[in-house]
Structure 1
Amino acid sequence: MKIAIDSYCYHRYFGEVYPNLEQAPDHQMSLDDFVARARAHGVQGVSIESFMLDDSSPQNLERLRGLLDAAQLELVWAWGHPHGLGSGARPDELADLIRNVDIAKALGAEVMRICAGGRLTRPESWDEHKSKLVPLLREAAAYAADQGIVLAMENHVDLLAAEVLELLDAVNSPALGVCLDTANNLRMFEDPMLAIEMLAPHAKATHIKDICAFRGSPREFGFWPSVPLGEGLIDIPRTLQLLRSHGFNGLLALEIDYLHPAHGTEEEAIAKSLAFMRSVLADHRSATHA
């Protein structure tokens, strides 16, 4: 398993600021800046959000791939934030998903995270939800398989853990697995460790994220802010142990979305989180060799 950063940790610097929760920063970042930050943090990989790419020309993709190769950073390409396929209600987005499979391939990624929906797109009927999604996911997985790419569908506050497994079973393709977000199912009032135990065997990518309860309504996003790893409600050491036990050898991509205001800057939270992850992995190695 390789320690990594998801570019969404810097979402404010790419123009996505949560209304009434965050303030816009005094400057913007480019993907070149993000790669430089990742190098400075000494990680082994990055997950890059597709909405942060402002130039998908072949020349720019070749340049970005060269930058990642020079930094020796493994890549997961990430498509679909915030609404993805709209929980099946946005079939027109399939074309953009497929376009991004080609981008992932051009950048040298072997895994592409996708969102089937988001926290605002989930319909009331699971039967309707599933029936609309499955054909789209089948077509996407078939195309990805032809390109040598594995799609990793995130539990994106749109799917309960058992529903994710139902979709995987219905599509039944080795080109479709899971991007395991460690915190999102708590935001849906599921036991987070039970969700992690269910999804870890199918993980092809991860968002390693910790959250806590804050203020307001637990049905609102702002109630569940991100905190540095090890300081919230998610059992990160147990999560990493489960991933290892199921043979996961991909990127442990730190993700911070809305950062709890008591926990400083993004850079401070990232540094604390990466130090915690390194410590946990070192403990696991020591226990293995004891």
Structure 2
Amino acid sequence: MIGLSTYSFFWEHKLSVPDGPNLQPLDLPGMLRATADQGVHLLQICDYAPLFDLDEKGLADLRGLADSLGIQLELGTRVVTPSHLERMLTTSLALGATFVRSMLSDANSRPSTREAERWLRQELPHWEAAGVTLALETYEQIPVAELVDLVARIDSPSLGICLDPANSVAALENPRDTVERCAPYVAGLHIKDFSFTRHEQWVGFRLSGTPLGHGLLDYRHLMDTVRPEERGINRVVEHWLPWQGTQTDTIRLEREWTTTALAYMKEH
């Protein structure tokens, strides 16, 4: 299934003030409706702090809206401490989500791989019993080989990899190598295209986003290697869209990138 992430609405939900009658900040219900308007039936609520302000009724209302729009929910978070994983599992069950993306670390928590493994082994039996998958994302903070080794060593049906080849470029890891190493363990895909270019002054480089199909992501190689449709792996659109100078211009381009990405994925 093709889906959108809250990162597809990154600038629109961060809109600081209304910008005219047709441009209002998007909350979660707004993102659900915008997803449905695109003809998409999956939304990944990823790194979205207001989700945790919802009480039991708020979660039930959100799930009810998603159900009424025919949208499946996934979640995305960071860190794998036991208390946080317990909270994420409870939240995912309340929302009917069977997929949660996470990372081993964030700005405030950087456990060793050994410690993360201990936490995961402690909590994963609960995820297995609930039928919920936890997928650790490829990021520059942990070498791809180390992440793959961790997932393979734990060998749980509820643990996999959320593959985003763009992220590991920041650690100078080749995207094609990342795809091929991770392929057997992939449980979810983040789809965003990117460029790696010299700065205008030729001092240093810039890793940034581009519309899907216009950058360095070898989408065909990714599809042929992972085979998401054959394996039932969802493909979730994200963007690395730089600020365009004004709220109006940035959000207009963000919407265009989403439309472009969805059309590209359907054609390819």
Q: TM-score, normalised by structure 1?
A: 0.79
Q: Call closer, same or farther: CA 1:131–1:24 in 2, change over 3 Å.
A: farther
Matches within 5 A, 1:24-103: 26=19, 27-49=24-46, 50-80=48-78, 84-85=79-80, 93-103=81-91
Cα offset, 1:135, TM superposition = 0.9
* Number of the residue aligned with 1:114: 102
Q: Secondary structure at the match of 2:112?
A: helix
Q: Secondary structure at the match of 2:61?
A: helix
Q: 1:200·1:246 contact (CA, 8 Å) conserved in 2?
A: no
Aligned counterparts of 1:245 and 1:251: Cα–Cα separation in 2: 7
Matches within 5 A, 1:181-260: 181-214=164-197, 215=199, 217-218=204-205, 223-244=206-227, 247-259=230-242
Q: How many residues align?
A: 254
Q: Secondary structure at the match of 1:185?
A: helix
Cα offset, 1:246, TM superposition = 8.5
Aligned counterparts of 2:140 and 2:243: Cα–Cα separation in 1: 19
| Amino acid paired to 2:219 | I
Cα offset, 1:146, TM superposition = 2.6
Cα offset, 1:227, TM superposition = 1.2
* Number of the residue aligned with 1:104: 92
Q: Call closer, same or farther: CA 1:217–1:132 in 2, change over 3 Å.
A: farther
* Number of the residue aligned with 2:122: 139
Aligned counterparts of 1:162 and 1:198: Cα–Cα separation in 2: 7
Query: Once the two structures are aligned, what percentage of the paired residues are identical?
Result: 25
* Number of the residue aligned with 1:272: 260
Aligned counterparts of 1:142 and 1:42: Cα–Cα separation in 2: 36
| Amino acid paired to 2:41 | Q
* Number of the residue aligned with 1:20: none
Q: 2:164·2:191 contact (CA, 8 Å) conserved in 1?
A: yes
Aligned CA-pair RMSD: 2.6
1:58-90 alpha-carbon deviations (Å, 9 max, x no partner): 11111111111111122221112xxx24xxxxx
| Amino acid paired to 1:33 | G
Aligned counterparts of 1:275 and 1:77: Cα–Cα separation in 2: 24
Q: 1:12·1:24 contact (CA, 8 Å) conserved in 2?
A: no
Unpaired runs of 5+ in structure 1?
18-22, 86-92, 281-290
| Amino acid paired to 1:114 | S
**Structure 1: which 4+ aligned runs deviate by more than 4 Å?**
23-27, 120-123, 260-264
| Amino acid paired to 1:276 | Y
Q: 2:228·2:234 contact (CA, 8 Å) conserved in 1?
A: no
Aligned counterparts of 1:185 and 1:194: Cα–Cα separation in 2: 10
Unpaired runs of 5+ in structure 2?
none
1:18-56 alpha-carbon deviations (Å, 9 max, x no partner): xxxxx9884422000100111111112111124241533
Aligned counterparts of 2:235 and 2:189: Cα–Cα separation in 1: 6
| Amino acid paired to 1:65 | R
* Number of the residue aligned with 2:3: 4
Q: Call closer, same or farther: CA 1:157–1:242 in 2, change over 3 Å.
A: same
